[in-house]
Each structure stands twice: as C-alpha cells, then as structure tokens.
Amino acid sequence: MCGIVGVIGSGAAAPLLLEALQRLAYRGYDSAGIATLVEGVIQRRRAEGKLANLAAALAASPLPGSVGIGHTRWATHGAPTEANAHPHGTERVVLVHNGIIENHAELRAELEAEGQVFETETDTETVAQLVDLHLRQGMTPIAAASASLRRLQGAYALAMIFAGHPDLIIAAQHGAPLAVGFGTAEMYVGSDALALAPFTRRIAYLRDGDWTVVTREGALFFDAAGEAVVREVKLTALSGAAIGKGEFRHFMEKELHEHPAVIGDTLHQMIDPGTRQAVLPKLPFDLAALPRAVVSACGSAFYAGLVGRYWLESIARLPTEADVASEFRYRAPPLAPGGLGLLVSQSGETADTLAALRYMKAAQQHIAAVVNVPESSMARDADAVFETVAGPEIGVASTKAFTAQLCVLACFTLALARARGTLDRQQEQALTTALLEVPGRAAEILDTHESIQRLAARIAEARDVLYLGRGACYPIALEGALKLKEISYIHAEGYAAGEMKHGPIALIDKSVPVIAIAPSGPLFEKTASNLQEAAARGGQIIVLSDSVGAAKLKGIASETIVLPGVDPFVAPILYAIPVQLLAYHVAVLKGTDVDQPRNLAKSVTVE
Ligand code: HGA
C-alpha cells in the first residue's frame, strides 16, 4: 500500500526521502516519486516500478532542496504509470496521499468547471487541484489546506509542500495513518515510525481528523474542527538499523526461519513460567462476564481469527462469530452491548479491520486488538492490546506474524477458559505445556524441510490445488491455499474436508493435488474418510500428518510429509509452517517475486 514521507531539515532532503521510502517498500508498491523545493520552486522525479528506478532518475537528475515529500504508490485509481505516480500538484502545491478520496469525481467536475486542469487519472489529484484553486484565489497555504480538507470524503493521509514556502509541510490524517517525527533541527512525517526510525525515535501520532503544520522548529496540531490540540511525543522502540535478509534469499525465507524464536517470544510474553498459566495484560473489562465474542480481520489474520473462533468456542465455551472485516460492518450485525470485539492485524492499520473496530466500538463492545505494531492505530483505539512479538515482517505474505497471532489467540483462549471455569487446572496445564513445546517442534520442521522442497517441485506443475482440513485445521487449509495463490499464482482452494463432497469433489482428477492437513486427533478419522472419497476418484492425496496419522493413510497417500506429533490443540500453529514453506518453495521454483508478489500490498490501508 502507499507509503508517504516528508522531510524538512538543513541538508538535502531527497536522499533521506529515498531511504524512508525504502523502509516503506515492504508495504508493496508499483511506482514511486519525490518532490522538493529548489529555490522555492517545486521539482519532482517519479518512476514506474521499483525504487531502484526512482533512484536512477534521481542519480541522472539530482533534486537538491532541504524540504520535500516522497511516495510509494499502490494504485487504486488510475494505472500504475509514471504519470499517475505521486507527488501530484501544480506549480503552487504538490502532495502525496495514502487512501481513497471517495468524492473525487464530484470534486473533479467542480474543479474543472473552475478552470483547474488535471494531468492524471488519480483521485489524489483532486486534492492537489482543490488546494491549488484556493491558493489561486489568494488563500495562505494553511487556509487553503484546511479549507480543502473539509471537502474531502474517504480516507487519507496527506503531506503537502508549497512553492515559495521552504519552511512548511502540512500533513493530515483521516482513516490512514500518519506519524510526525521530531529530530533536532529537522522534522519528519511518514506513514509509520519504521520509515522514520533512522532519523528519529521521537514520534507523535495524529488522530483521525487531525492535521499538522510542520516547520523546522516543530509541529502544531489541529483537530477536525480546527482547534489546536496537543499530541504526545512518544519514544518508539523501533530500530533504525537497516532491515536486511541476512544469509537468506528472500525476506519470506528469513521470516519462516524466525518461527521458533517468534513463537517462543510471543508465548513467553503471555505465559507465566512459574504458574505455567496464560496471563493477560490488565483489562478494563471483566473477562468472566463476556457474553460472546465477534472476531474480525482480513486475509491470513482472518484465518488466524477463525482458528481463534474454534478455540474460544470449544475450549472457553464462549459463543463466537467471525467474519472478514470488509463484509462485517456492511452486514450491520446487531451486537448486544458488552460483548468482546476481537480484531487481528499484523500492521494494526488494515483499513477494513479498523473500520470493523470502529463499528464494534460504536456498538459498545469491549475491544481487544491482536497486533504486531504496538504504536498502530488499532492498538491505540483498542481497550486491550495483545501484542504479537514477531518483529518487522517485510515479506508481503504473512508467515511469522500469522503463527504469532495464533499463539496470542491460544493464550487468550486459555486465560478466558480459566476465567469462565471451563478448564480444570490439570487440563489447563496440559494445554499450556503443549503450547510451550511448539517452538521446539517448529525448529524440527525447519530443520527437515527437504521433503517439502521435493513436494514443491510437483506442486509447481499443478494448475489447481485443493487444501483440506477439519476443525481448527480447516483455517490452515484456507491459509495454505491463500499462500499458494498469493506468491506462486497457482489457483488453490481451501475446503472443510467434509464439505468437499458437496461440490469441489467434481474437480478431482489425477492432475489436481489434494493436500490434507490431517494431524492425529478427534477429527482424524473423519478427515481420513474424506480423503478416501477423493482417492477413490483418482485424486492425488498429499498428506501432512504425524507418524501415527501418516501410517494410517499410507494406503492412499501419494506423498506424505511427516510432522512432529503434538497435542491437537496446537496443531494449527505447527501445521501453518509446512503450508507456508510449501508455498515459498513453489514460488521460488516458479521464479515469482516472492517478497512482493504482483498486485499485492503488505499493509492494506485502503478499503
Ligand atoms: N488513491 C491513490 C492512493 C492509493 C493508495 O493509498 N494505495 O495504498 C492512488 O491511486 O494513487
């Protein structure tokens, strides 16, 4: 998704802008651009494709100037061309935008009638033209910006600079995040603190509706009504060190190998080593009194939430509903006050999930957010934050953040079960012990994944792949299929194993691999029967199971990946790893852009 950045300092702004854009690249983008003021005049360089192209354009034609803005674009309105790349503007103003201006068509018509001449197909340019019109009519930059912001509908984080005003950046936030960084003699704005981490750790976050006037001296903050407000400056823990791949070929590979450490760190944060009980941060609501939960998220985080639903219902006996965030709020579900709203998001900035959070809040739910970025909008808006300790995840396809989300949801389930009295001490200890064994088992999988690499060669040839699972491993089938689609571009479907005979079994022939997520446990025999049905129709069954399950399915499996035996409770966490590894190796064989697959973005900050 788009990343925005702004710098106002004493040295050249362009190299700093480029460095910050590189730190935003993980969000996914298709073009990029930078604008600075050169002796008061707006100049810009833009390029389609990777940041290396922008760097080459800057090297060929450097941009001096100590104030500037930069952008990585993930196109929503208008093709990903150089002409549509941000910054957009006129000779008077230029700006960068993350979000969608929903009333752009109406504004464009109105502005064209006023004589403004558009150069691009983007929604963003309407903002630039609107500010320009106000400037043309004699307003000051601050007045022009604030008058323009009042006209905008939709979501935006914006940063703008003005010709002839070398000591000014105006930035705003409404439904897309914006951070302001305080340096010593410089100031910064950016989509997140990670982008600004090499320059400063002192960060203030805007709230929705806020806008800020930034000069070299500092920043003034205003709310939507134009009232001056104070926004606290906090010290972020993020490191400015370059985020590298180390000895690995891709960030995704590196992140896959971080599973054991991340799972361990996340569990140790939530499990008291003395009592071996899950502990939660202090909550502003009574866990035992919760009547029900509603879980909402997007993509892999939604699948983590789905696993959470199985756990919350079966272990903590809490009625739980789960829905993708982009559907949830538009369904307008009636929610009785006092329930739990549980949101899951790596970035904590996912626009749809944030909107679901706000819907739940308005319906008087207690809000808990499972996020990987403690400074994120979701963390700030939640009543309780359950942090995954996954560290920065750069690969667009979620890996370690997903298993960390599962660990948090597992610990939350155990704490809730204790509060609701649905587990006795012995059962609780057994489940906690099972959880604490996961990092070790995860390391075993990573040590012996040659069999997955071999399997990848076969899957890379397939046109369609089916993933089957039951119970809490059904969402892992969904996750497996999503991962394969995302990074290897092979069509895949995840299905509840028992549902296959109601439709997808029609797809089965010997060219369609059927990957079964089939750990030993109460549902194993049922899954085994469904696999028999597929095998009887010529399906190529690939089994992911422990040695006991693998032995039972020997007769029908054309290939088996044997995984460590674990308590069925933790199987979804562990089985997520081989499905991710498989997708990774298939993508490598197919030669796709593993870390930044086509059309995808890491942090989806538009609806
Ligand atoms: N709507 C703008 C910005 C897109 C965006 O924020 N993507 O994440 C455009 O299409 O340029």
Assess whether pLDDT exceeds 80 at residue 227: yes
Range of weakest confidence among 77-86, 270-279, 339-348, 398-407: 270-279
Residues 561-600: tens digit of each pLDDT: 999 999 999 999 999 999 999 999 999 999 988 888 887 7
Phi then psi dihedrals of residue 215, to 5 deg: -125, 180
- Residue 481 tokens, joined: 């299929």
Q: Where, residue-wise, is CATH 3.60.20.10 in the chain?
A: 3-240
Tell me what pLDDT residue 605 has: 67
Assess whether pLDDT exceeds 80 at residue 397: yes
Confidence of residue 1 (pLDDT cuts 50, 70, 90): confident
CA distances to 111, 343, 344, 348, 603 from 353, rounded to whole Å, are 33, 7, 8, 8, 11
- The three state secondary structure string of 215-273 is ECCEEEEECCCCCEECCCEEECCCCCCCCCCCCCCCHHHHHHHCHHHHHHHHHHHHEEC
Element (DSSP H or E) covering residue 168: strand 165-174
Contact by Cβ (8 Å): 604, 350: yes
Residues 504-543: tens digit of each pLDDT: 888 888 889 999 999 999 999 999 999 999 998 888 999 9
Query: What's the CA angle centered on 230, arms 226 and 232, to 5 degrees?
Result: 140
Please tell me the distance between residue 76's alpha carbon and the centre of ligand 1 in angstroms. 5
Separation of alpha carbons 451 and 218, rounded Å: 57
282 DSSP 8-state letter: -
Assess whether pLDDT exceeds 70 at residue 367: yes
Residues 507-516: tens digit of each pLDDT: 888 889 999 9
Tell which one of 73, 88, 153, 156 to mutate to probe ligand 1, the residue whose CB is within 8 A of the most ligand atoms. 73
Pairing of strands 187-190, 3-8: antiparallel
CA distances to 228, 365, 378 from 222, rounded to whole Å, are 4, 29, 21
Contact by Cβ (8 Å): 364, 346: no
Assess whether pLDDT exceeds 90 at residue 601: no
Please tell me the distance between residue 399's alpha carbon and the centre of ligand 1 in angstroms. 26
Helix (H, G, I), strand (E, B) or coil at 149: helix
Residues 463-497: tens digit of each pLDDT: 999 999 999 999 999 999 999 999 999 999 999 99
Query: What's the CA angle centered on 431, arms 427 and 433, to 5 degrees?
Result: 115
Q: Confirm or reject CATH 3.60.20.10 for domain 3-240, answering yes or no.
A: yes
Residue 2 falls in the annotated catalytic set: yes
Tell me what pLDDT residue 154 has: 87
Please tell me the distance between residue 171's alpha carbon and the centre of ligand 1 in angstroms. 16
Separation of alpha carbons 562 and 435, rounded Å: 20
- Residue 201 tokens, joined: 């750790």
Contact by Cβ (8 Å): 236, 193: yes
Regarding the beta carbon of 603 and ligand 1, being less than 6 Å apart is answered no
- The residue whose two tokens read 């800020």 is 212
| Sheet with strand 366-371: strands edge to edge | 320-324, 293-297, 340-345, 366-371, 384-387
Assess whether pLDDT exceeds 90 at residue 238: no
- The closest of 295, 345, 344 to 316, measured between CA atoms, is 295
Average pLDDT of span 284-296? 97
- The closest of 183, 143, 582, 541 to 397, measured between CA atoms, is 582
Separation of alpha carbons 604 and 347, rounded Å: 9
Please tell me the distance between residue 606's alpha carbon and the centre of ligand 1 in angstroms. 8
Atom of ligand 1 nearest to the CA of 98: 6
Q: Where, residue-wise, is CATH 3.40.50.10490 in the chain?
A: 250-436, 447-607
Superfamily of domain 447-607: Glucose-6-phosphate isomerase like protein; domain 1 (3.40.50.10490)
Average pLDDT of span 185-206? 92
Identify the top-confidence range among 223-237, 298-312, 428-442: 298-312
Residues 102-150: tens digit of each pLDDT: 899 999 999 999 999 999 999 999 999 999 999 999 999 999 999 999 9
Any bridge partners for residue 190, and if so which?
A: 5, 179
Regarding the beta carbon of 605 and ligand 1, being less than 6 Å apart is answered yes
Pairing of strands 366-371, 3-8: unpaired
Regarding the beta carbon of 2 and ligand 1, being less than 6 Å apart is answered yes
Q: Residue whose CA is closest, atom 1 of ligand 1?
A: 100
Average pLDDT of span 239-259? 81
- Residue 478 tokens, joined: 């969904």
In the chain, what percentage of residues exceed pLDDT 90?
Answer: 79
Query: Pick the catalytic residue: 254, 400, 483, 602?
Result: 602
Confidence of residue 241 (pLDDT cuts 50, 70, 90): low
Average pLDDT, the chain: 93
Assess whether pLDDT exceeds 70 at residue 378: yes
Separation of alpha carbons 325 and 355, rounded Å: 8
Tell which one of 72, 124, 191, 604 to mutate to probe ligand 1, the residue whose CB is within 8 A of the most ligand atoms. 124
Q: Where are the alpha helices (DSSP H) in 421-544?
A: 425-436, 438-447, 450-459, 474-488, 524-536
Average pLDDT of span 159-173? 98
Superfamily of domain 250-436: Glucose-6-phosphate isomerase like protein; domain 1 (3.40.50.10490)
CA distances to 35, 188, 228, 270, 537 from 213, rounded to whole Å, are 18, 11, 11, 41, 67
